[in-house]
Structure 1
Amino acid sequence: MHSILLPTDFSKNSQNAIDYAIYLFEREPCTFYLLHAYYLVPSETGTKFDASIELDSMYKKLEATKSAKHTFESILVSDTALGAIDKTIVEKDIQFVFMGTTGFSAVQDVFMGSVTTSVLKNINSSTIIAVPGEYDYDIPDDILFANDYKHTFKPAELSPIIKIASLWGSIINIVYVNSKKELENVQQSNKELLDLHLKNTKHRYIKVKKKSSVTATLKDLEKRYKNIGMVVFLKTEHSFFKKLINEPIIRNMTFKTEVPIMIMPVLK
């Protein structure tokens, strides 16, 4: 049984992320937790009562059309969105958090500032999937996994990407953006270990030359591989995710991925 958190602000974007999560896990036994956090200040017009009505209405609609394998629970709390998500992850043993983004691009929202940004920066206990607000979801035939082979993976760290790939028989495309001709010894060892961990999952390795930036390289890969349905990063200190954050090209919104982004935490 999977435990999946669905934060909602009752917007179209959060609803799209909810619909995508249900679609992605439609064949799996799941408990979905609908979470709304209200944090009232004197200038706000909304009330706890208003939020309660909207959350209950959403819950009833989902219950009326749910799969026999799915269960829904609603949670209404007075807290910041970040605080509520953090607490719920611990209390409900959440494995995946699906969040809608306000922009057409998940990257746009992640790097330009939002609740999603705060969650990605501050929460390290669950896998976060950011879904573009206008994303017209489909089966992720190909999953792009950016990797530099500098991290020694624990089996549990790969569990989220293996699970997502297993849902619809997706292929994990492990992309190594190289600036050197040969892997260092530790990188080669980590690659072999990764291959061992993924032995029962369809995967392949793609080695590409780095263009002007990591961003430009990934953008080019999206053009070459038309069936990419998700881009995955591991949240390490020196990962591609961190490099993307630091690249000016991202902050200038040159790179726009139209598919969900999944950020997996590093396990201590």
Structure 2
Amino acid sequence: MKNILIPTDFSDNAWDALLYAIRLYDAVPAHFYILHTYQAGTSRTSNRMSKYRDTHLHRVLKDESEKGLKKIQRYLDENLLNDDHKYQTISQAGDLVFQIKQVVTNYNIDIIVMGTTGATGAKEIFMGSNAVSVINHIELCPVLTVPKDYEFTELKNIIFATDLKRRFYSIELFSLIELQTIHESNICLLNVKEGDDLDKTKLHNLKDIKALFKDGTVSFEQTELDGKVAKSIMNFSKNHNSDLVCLVNSEKKFLKKLIEEAVIKKVSFHSAIPLLVIPI
């Protein structure tokens, strides 16, 4: 059973991310955990009236959270019938990233799927900046972000962007390998060319990465640097009808350069297709 976490703020984008995740793992036994977090401001004053207001606000937010989740649960149970799927809602007070970490640990979550843009008004803060915050602070499982208004399409073509400076192991790329297996996808290993041809180490790493995927489904492409690495990746994915882009988020990352130009943040906000970020 695959355990999938879907954070929601009840926005259309969060709902689309949930439906995307359900369709993405339609053929896999899966337990979907739908998490909503809420946070009431705490008054700096300590008089009885301020405490009453804080308590009342907390109660209101808790009630709204539970009602929203019940509505989602009811729809899923009545309309998305799949004997291999289970749905469970979780309402928690507190910081989003902290609560996600707790859920990931407590429920042995395999992957987080979330939208990149939240509801209008105050709630916009939730998914805009927090999608990036989750990517940067969750170290135990991959994060898959779904752009606003994106409609599910089969994963025919997946881009795995890498600088080829390190070797990868199957356990590290399990989520990507699994998706490729489920959807019988073609994998394009993409390297942004910034200098000379590949050296022996990179050629060896390329060979090892190819060996992790099914025979005949992996290709290798290089693309010229177009100003920024992030821009080069996105332009390539757009021009090659890609259905998913995968990046690795590690300390040594594809990476020092990508960190310097904040590629994870740039791609998260500007990618027109889903983005899978794997922590290593």
Normalised by the shorter chain, which TM-score bucket? 0.7 to 0.9
Q: Hey, what's the Cα distance between the residues in 1 that align with 2:262 and 2:2?
A: 38
Deviation at 1:47, TM superposition (A): 2.1
1:91 has 2:106 as partner:
yes
Deviations along 1:60-96, one digit per CA (max 9) or x if unpaired, are: 1111123111001111122211111101111111111
1:50 to 57, 64, 69: 64
* TM-score relative to the length of structure 2: 0.83
Aligned partner of 1:122 in structure 2 is: 137
- In percent, how many aligned pairs have the same letter? 27
Deviation at 1:56, TM superposition (A): 1.1
Aligned length: 258
Q: Hey, what's the Cα distance between the residues in 1 that align with 2:265 and 2:77?
A: 40
Report the aligned-residue RMSD: 2.6
3-state secondary structure, aligned to 2:35: strand
Aligned partner of 2:48 in structure 1 is: none
Deviation at 1:241, TM superposition (A): 6.1
Q: Hey, what's the Cα distance between the residues in 2 that align with 1:30 and 1:248?
A: 33
Deviation at 1:191, TM superposition (A): 1.4
1:239 alignment partner AA? K
3-state secondary structure, aligned to 1:155: coil
Deviation at 1:244, TM superposition (A): 4.3
Q: Hey, what's the Cα distance between the residues in 2 that align with 1:143 and 1:256?
A: 17
1:236 has 2:278 as partner:
no
Runs (5+) with no aligned partner, structure 1 = 104-108
Alignment of 1:36-47 (within 5 A): 36-41=36-41, 46-47=60-61
Deviation at 1:186, TM superposition (A): 2.2
Alignment of 1:1-268 (within 5 A): 1-41=1-41, 46-65=60-79, 66-102=81-117, 114-200=129-215, 202-226=217-241, 228-240=242-254, 243-247=257-261, 256-266=270-280
Runs (5+) with no aligned partner, structure 2 = 43-53, 119-123
* TM-score relative to the length of structure 1: 0.87
Deviations along 1:83-117, one digit per CA (max 9) or x if unpaired, are: 111011111111110111117xxxxx9xx951111
Q: Hey, what's the Cα distance between the residues in 2 that align with 1:144 and 1:252?
A: 17
Q: Hey, what's the Cα distance between the residues in 2 that align with 1:261 and 1:140?
A: 12
Deviation at 1:199, TM superposition (A): 4.1
Deviations along 1:209-231, one digit per CA (max 9) or x if unpaired, are: 223321332233134302x1111
Does the aligned pair in 1 maintain the 2:230–2:266 contact within 8 Å?
Answer: no
Question: Measured at CA, do residues 30 and 206 of structure 1 come closer, stay the same or move farther in structure 2, by a change above 3 Å?
Answer: same
Q: Hey, what's the Cα distance between the residues in 2 that align with 1:93 and 1:251?
A: 26
Question: Measured at CA, do residues 234 and 39 of structure 1 come closer, stay the same or move farther in structure 2, by a change above 3 Å?
Answer: same
Question: Measured at CA, do residues 121 and 55 of structure 1 come closer, stay the same or move farther in structure 2, by a change above 3 Å?
Answer: same
Deviations along 1:13-43, one digit per CA (max 9) or x if unpaired, are: 1101001000111111100011111222258
Question: Measured at CA, do residues 248 and 127 of structure 1 come closer, stay the same or move farther in structure 2, by a change above 3 Å?
Answer: closer
3-state secondary structure, aligned to 2:171: helix
Deviations along 1:118-139, one digit per CA (max 9) or x if unpaired, are: 1111111011001112112211
